[in-house]
Amino acid sequence: MSSSKSSHDVPIKFYGFCSYPNCRKKKITEDAPFVWWNGVHFSTKQVEEELSPIAKLAAISTPNEYVEKFGRYGFNMELHTECAAEWGMHLIQDALKVDYNLGSKLRNLQNDTSK
């Protein structure tokens, strides 16, 4: 993931729509700060199971070279800065719910000098 103060200084194609499912604004203006994640990957099976029939037909009937070579679809995600922070907090909360010892594990990884 990376962040930018505006769309004018990024090496990706800027679509201007927030990918956060609970976003209330949806549109990201070209001059607004945002977070972007280049190359979010989904398997062909995920695409087949999740997309609407029309989108699935379009994606599966005309795969590009990357999809044919790796069997995965790549997408860019753009998020408002506040949406990225909110989503990140939800992810951290969910991770801690299922792995209460996560802090110790991360600290041990950081202190591991054998690598």
**pLDDT tens for the 115 residues of the chain, in order:** 788 888 887 877 888 999 999 999 999 999 999 998 887 888 888 888 888 888 888 777 888 888 888 888 888 899 999 999 999 999 999 999 999 898 888 888 877 766 5
Whole-angstrom Cα distance, residue 50 to residue 60?
12
Six-digit token string for 54: 């029309």
The strands making up 2-4's β-sheet, listed across from edge to edge, are: 2-4, 34-43, 72-80
- Residue 50, classed as helix, strand or coil, is helix
What are the φ/ψ torsions at residue 63 (nearest 5 degrees)? -70, 145
